[in-house]
Amino acid sequence: MLENKQNARLAVALLCYNNRDLLEKFLPGVVETTAQYLEVEIHVIDNASTDGTGDYLASYGDRIKVITIDVNRGFTNGYKLGLAQIDAEIYCLLSSDVEVSHKWIEPVLDLFANDAEVAIVQPKIKSWHRKDEFEYAGACGGYMDYQGYPFCRGRIFYEVEKDQGQYDNNEEIFWASGACFFIRAEHYQNSGGLDDDFYAHMEEIDLCWRIKNQGYKVMACPASEVYHLGGAVIAYGSPQKVFRNHRNNLIMMVKNLPGSSVLWLILLRLLMDGLAFANMIMRGQARSSLSIITAHWSFFYSLPRWLKKRREIQVNIQKHTTTGIYRKSIVYQYFIKGRTRFSDLEIKP
């Protein structure tokens, strides 16, 4: 429990790589909104930037602590190396392309202080370009269907809703977005943290899944709002993103599913990926479609490695979580039934 939320030892950890332009746009807001807290530190993990990022950060003096990594290690590896050098009770992993609101910290600290079982909290994430809409990467909290397809309160596939207050309740979710989420440091460390084999994409879902399987909660906190630029690192729909999404999804399913369902669900997911491949071919997206084949090859080539990871984490599972997992197919509901809004799914808390 946080005895004094005002003095909670919170470390805002912002990872960047050649993002000086984004830092100049968004970092001043982070500095301003955290100034009132006595024990909030800002750490920028610089993933070997070559664009003058270091010079810009130096202008803040002691207000910002800079952790320099000698080689670009990607999202997961950058955080793995950076967080190991930060001593705090709570980490906030914040993307460099996120604008924070004036009171984005207080509601989150309240949520942590009031429930010791809460391990991870995600703010409401809205679009920086269209501030009346949710943003693709997280919206108002992440869910997953039983086939491993992620979606959000406020976003299903590429259908993004306007924010009209329809999801303004604190609610336990399945995953929190890597664009911005808060996590108790003890749970981050005890769970093994972000999986450095992911490099980027779905690593936060894998982390949340492991922590939920250990008996803790992942919560959405809509009273805290941030605005995500989105697509600043790897463009949505790009071949690189398609590759990492498909490969990493299979890895996290192998690692975290119960033994009774892991084999048949992996086979089902491979079939669904085949349908996605055919759909991309018909839409003329040849490069992206080939990324699915490459993702499958990469997954099977290193299958012994993923099975070893599964054995290591399965021993720490208290109970396989069902909270936040939609028991129907989101693909069927969206593409066949035409249910494009989260509220159409009738998911009960």
Residue 38 has pLDDT above 80, yes or no: no
The whole-number pLDDT of residue 72 equals 86
The whole-number pLDDT of residue 239 equals 84
Comparison of pLDDT for 3 and 126, the residue scoring more: 126
The whole-number pLDDT of residue 1 equals 47
Residue 232 has pLDDT above 80, yes or no: no
pTM over 0.85: yes
Residue 214 has pLDDT above 60, yes or no: yes
Q: Residue 28 carries which side chain, given as an amino acid letter?
A: P
Residue 4 has pLDDT above 90, yes or no: no
* Segment (H or E) for 120: strand 118-127
Cβ atoms of 268 and 257 closer than 8 Å? no
The whole-number pLDDT of residue 205 equals 97
pLDDT-based confidence at 200, cuts 50/70/90? confident
| Cα gap 263→135, rounded to integer Å | 33
3-state helix, strand, coil in the chain (%, to 5): 40, 20, 40
Quick one: 8-228 is in which CATH superfamily? Spore Coat Polysaccharide Biosynthesis Protein SpsA; Chain A (3.90.550.10)
| Cα gap 228→128, rounded to integer Å | 5
Tens digit of each residue's pLDDT (9 = 90 or more) over 55-94:
999 999 999 999 999 888 788 889 999 999 999 999 999 9
Residue spans per domain, the chain: 8-228, 239-322
Mean pLDDT of the chain: 92
